[in-house]
Amino acid sequence: MNKFIKIDYLPRVEGEGGIAIEIKDGRITRLHFKIFEAPRFFESFLKGRSYSEAMDFTARICGICPVAYQMSSVHAIEKIFGIEIEKPIHELRRLLYCGEWIESHALHIYLLQGPDFYGIESAWASRQYMPIAKKGLGFKKLGNQIMAILGGRAVHPVSVKVGGFYKTPERKALIAILPDLERAYGESIEGIKWAAGLPFNNNAWDMEYVSLRHVDEYPINEGHAVSNKGLDKSMDRFLEGIQEYQVEYSTALHAGIKRDTSVSPYLVGPISRLNLNNDKLPLEIKNAINESGIALPIKNTQMGIIARSVEMAYAFYEAIRIIREYEKPDSPFIDFTTKAGEAIWITEAPRGMLIHRYEIDEGGHVKSCTIVPPTSQNLGHIESDIFHFLKNNLDKSAEIIKKESEKIIRSYDPCISCSVHVTYS
């Protein structure tokens, strides 16, 4: 029996993509995750521009995770200039990123993926789901508030600067949201239990997860790249082990880990981070994981919602910690001189590792740059994942296959507008 399954325009994902699956005589003959989001060529525009514009330009790649872009670029450039940022700035940047994790995770958990488990078309399509959606909006709002205090607004904040921030917040302003954060933290722990209890498919398989790992902390802005299959590389070496390739049905490049004879897909994002770094979580959250009966490592990507819920709770935990310890630094940034050079930096965007490489000339202008967003790293993996699911479900109706594939894709929280920004290097 032949089946042809097509989704022109995936709903509840960020950006424009579709899927085409063809099954002939019990064999999968085509499986394309199509990205037709138009490319925007920002990397080319950055050539010749001042280093200081990199943060504002790359932020516009993605409205959902602009902070990630600002963080990867600012750190890469600081590395080139040999700037060592001070502890308070490190902490504030982590806080800013926590804001984005909360915002992005809450949006995905409660408003985008959540409805899948309730069989509804949107988060507001049923009365029963409304309280859950409201809760999500509540979390999301707090994430946004953190970003607004630190950066003026949640989408494309304006305060990040090479060497620190343009201006650091008053302690008063941060303390003011502490009670709300503390309450939300409690609720987010409950949220882990809720996520763990959702009905999942049984599409578990043996995959390779890659994330940053840091000696002291759950990775956000720093660390080195590791995987469960032995990969362990410093940030600057990571790209060497990666192969990017173009497929004719997509405006986004794919990426895989170069192995002896092949290029193998890998997974980045909350599942990878949690699987590889759960030892760095505070006890309270570890307990919540155990009490919810979550078995680590997570091997089913649909359970990304669990990993996201854990990380959201962690982001609240961290935000509270940082705010409690915060003292406004004397100067919002440190002085520096520009230098020529090249550097790679990776940070953990909500969807996974975001790689930036810059080459800067004597005058502080960008000579070349490479950006590898998490979603483009996941594209190959998404296809493998669906392939894996199909293999065991070839007998299912086209309708079911379509729905389930859509759900699998959605569980990655793919950021398609990001994914078309990847430079071939």
Partner 1 sequence: MKRPRIGVFKFTSCDGCQLSIMNLEEKFLDLLELFDIAYFRETTDRPLTGHFDISIVEGSISTAWQKNDIVDIRERSRYLITIGACATAGGLQALRNWGSITDYKNYIYPSPVIINVLSTSTPISEHVYVDYELWGCPINEKAFSETLISFLIGKKPGIPIYSLCMECKRMGLPCILVSKSEPCLGPVTRAGCGALCPYFQKPCYGCFGPKEDANIESLLKQFQNMGLTQKECILLLDKMNTYAYRKAKIERS
CB 248 to partner 1: min, Å: 5
Q: What is the dihedral of CA 103, 330, 177, 139, to 10 degrees?
A: 10
* Site map 250..289 versus partner 1, x via CB under 8 A: -x-x------------------------------------
User: Which of the stretches 57-65, 218-226, 336-344, 374-382 binds partner 1 when contact is defined by CB under 8 A?
Assistant: 57-65
**What, of partner 1, ligand SF4, none, does residue 405 touch, CB below 5 to 8 Å by kind?**
none
Output the residue with the shortest Cβ distance to ligand SF4. 60
User: Do residues 253 and 422 make contact, with C-beta atoms less than 8 angstroms apart?
Assistant: yes
Footprint of ligand SF4 on 144-183 (CB under 6 A): 155-156
| CB nearer partner 1, residue 56 or residue 236 | 56
> 292 or 419, CB closer to partner 1?
419
3-state DSSP assignment of residue 358: strand
Q: Using DSSP, state whether 235 is helix, strand or coil.
A: helix
Instruction: Identify the bridge partners of residue 346 per DSSP, sorted by sequence position.
Output: 355
- C-alpha pair distances (Å), 266 with each of 102, 212, 301, 387, 422: 24, 13, 12, 14, 16
Q: Is 204 in the site for partner 1 (CB under 8 A)?
A: no
Q: Does 105 bind partner 1 (CB under 8 A)?
A: no
Of the candidates 241, 178, 240, the one whose C-alpha atom is nearest the C-alpha of residue 208 is 241
Identify which of residues 82 and 152 has a Cβ nearer to partner 1 in the complex: 152
Alpha carbons 345 and 329: distance in angstroms, whole number: 25
Closer Cβ to partner 1, 113 or 272, answer by number: 113
Looking at beta carbons only, is 60 or 367 nearer to ligand SF4? 60
Quick one: which of 68, 92, 107, 257 contacts partner 1 (CB under 8 A)?
107
- What secondary structure letter does DSSP report for 128? T
Q: Which stretch binds partner 1 (CB under 8 A): 11-19, 227-235, 274-282, 309-317?
A: 11-19
For residue 60, state whether it binds ligand SF4 (rule: CB under 6 A): yes
Which residue among 18, 39, 63, 241 contacts ligand SF4 (CB under 6 A)?
63
- 38 lies in the site for partner 1, by CB under 8 A: yes
What is the distance between the alpha carbons of residues 223 and 338, in angstroms, rounded to a whole number?
24
Closest CB 336 distance from partner 1, rounded Å: 17
* Least distance to ligand SF4, CB of residue 15, Å: 11
| Tokens describing residue 425 | 């290097």
Cα–Cα separations (whole angstroms), residue 249 to 20, 37, 136, 419 = 10, 11, 35, 14
Integer-rounded Cα Rg, in Å, for the chain is 21
113 Cα distance to chain centroid = 15
**Exposure of 337 by Cβ count < 10 A (0-12 exposed, 13-18 middle, 19+ buried)?**
exposed
Choose among ligand SF4, partner 1, none what residue 9 binds, the Cβ cut-off being 5 to 8 Å by kind.
partner 1
Distances (CA, A) of 120 to 11, 115, 275: 12, 5, 30
192 CB-contact burial (10 Å; exposed 0-12 / middle 13-18 / buried 19+): buried
Size of the site for ligand SF4 (CB under 6 A): 4
Q: Is 63 a binder of partner 1 (CB under 8 A)? A: yes
Number of residues in contact with partner 1, rule: CB under 8 A? 65
List of residues contacting partner 1 (CB under 8 A): 9-16, 37-45, 47, 49-50, 53, 56-57, 60-64, 66, 107, 111-112, 115, 121-125, 134, 137-138, 140-141, 144, 151-156, 158-159, 161, 165-167, 245-246, 248, 251, 253, 417, 422-424
List of residues contacting ligand SF4 (CB under 6 A): 60, 63, 155-156
